[in-house]
Amino acid sequence: MTTPTLITVAPTGAESRKADIRILPVTLDEIVATAKECEVVGASVVHVHIRDDDGLPTLDLDRLRETVAALRAETSLIVQLSTGGAVTDNEADRLRVIEAEPEMASCSMGTVNFGDDVFLNRWEFIVELHRRMRDAAVVPEYEIFDLGQLTTLVRLLDKHGLPAGGHVHVDFVMGVPGGMPGTVEALVACRQALRELPDDTTYSATGIGRSTIPVLLASLASGGHLRVGMEDVTTYAKGQPVTGNGQLVARAVAFSRLAQRPPTTPDEARQLLGIRS
Ligand code: KMH
Ligand code: ZN
């Protein structure tokens, strides 16, 4: 039996500037338009960071609610809000993201150097986020930036129980300067460490920048799923800027089909992830 591929698109992120990358989707209309395109091409989850009127990252709750509503109205995608936000966001604002009632949200499993910055995720914060997500029936995607963060996830689930829906899904974010490298070896190490988690745990992987293709191929070959998008990479090939998120999703779909692992529909992805539709 073939395992289909769940493709998540992360269209915007918090790090790139609209002034530098004109096609980066930052307004509500731009985010909805890119999400619609990516759904047609084969994505089933959209990982969402939003921006303010100046194009800067924000966790404004009204704006998050409006974004969730618009994406629900215009697409069938699973809306996964980022609780990671930007490195400058405080814990209270990050916890409040859950109040926008997405089907899914990211939940990072540890502190990591993030380029010249620090992406702070204290243990107490992680526990509180996990608890609030479960109380609100929001399904987490556990973001793993380094191998040891899988040990933190094992500890979290042992001490505080399974997430909403009962299924564990992790995303390996590889190649962040300060985190694990985006290599086949690192992905294999992460995959082996999954043995400590429930048997049906699923994983996706994304490689930042140049590591995008090796990580994509390694994840597909090892039974994992994919995350792609302009949050993680803005160059399609050497000297060739990305033309849009749809281009990255199309490449992921093509590789998935070559691997005989066609993309899931959003509803198949909901079933896989334990999301009640
Ligand atoms: N922007 C990064 C500091 C997430 O979305 O949950 C954190 C991040 C992780 O992107
Ligand atoms: Zn993110």
Question: What is the predicted pLDDT for the residue at 2?
Answer: 76
Q: What are phi and psi of 85, to 5 degrees?
A: 55, -140
Query: Which protein residue has the closest C-alpha to ligand 1 atom 9?
Result: 84
Query: Which protein residue has the closest C-alpha to ligand 1 atom 1?
Result: 86
Mean pLDDT rounded to a whole number for the chain: 98
Alpha-carbon dihedral sign for residues 247, 73, 139, 85: positive
Q: What is the pLDDT of residues 40-71, one digit of tens each?
A: 999 999 999 999 999 999 999 999 999 999 99
Q: Is 276 a residue whose pLDDT tops 90?
A: no
Distance CA 80, CA 155 (A): 24
* Percentage of the chain modeled with pLDDT above 90: 98
Q: 267 to each of 16, 110, 272, 274, how far by Cα in Å?
A: 31, 30, 9, 11
Residue (of 46, 13, 74) closest to 269 by Cα position = 46
Q: What is the mean pLDDT of residues 182-186?
A: 98
Q: What is the pLDDT of residues 138-147, one digit of tens each?
A: 999 999 999 9
Distance 209 CA to ligand 2 centre (A): 14
Distance CA 119, CA 52 (A): 21
Q: What is the pLDDT of residues 78-112, one digit of tens each?
A: 999 999 999 999 999 999 999 999 999 999 999 99
Question: What is the predicted pLDDT for the residue at 277?
Answer: 72
Ligand 1 contact, 179 CB (< 6 A) = no
Q: What is the mean pLDDT of residues 240-252?
A: 98
List Cβ neighbours of 18 (8 Å cut-off, separation of 6 or more): 24, 26, 51, 55
Query: Which protein residue has the closest C-alpha to ligand 1 atom 8?
Result: 84
Cα angle: 212, vertex 214, 220; to 5 degrees: 100
Question: What is the predicted pLDDT for the residue at 101?
Answer: 98
Ligand 1 contact, 119 CB (< 6 A) = yes
Task: Give the pLDDT band (50/70/90) at residue 1.
Answer: low
List Cβ neighbours of 257 (8 Å cut-off, separation of 6 or more): none
Tokens of 235: 């160059």
Distance CA 246, CA 35 (A): 9
Distance 33 CA to ligand 2 centre (A): 19
* Percentage of the chain modeled with pLDDT above 70: 100
3-class SS string, 224-245: CEEEECCCCCCEEECCEECCCH
Distance 143 CA to ligand 2 centre (A): 9
Task: Give the pLDDT band (50/70/90) at residue 220.
Answer: very high
Distance 17 CA to ligand 2 centre (A): 15
Ligand 1 contact, 87 CB (< 6 A) = yes
210: alpha, beta or left, given left = phi > 0 and alpha = psi -120 to 50? alpha
Task: Give the pLDDT band (50/70/90) at residue 122.
Answer: very high
Question: What is the predicted pLDDT for the residue at 7?
Answer: 99
Do 272 and 263 touch, CB atoms closer than 8 A? no
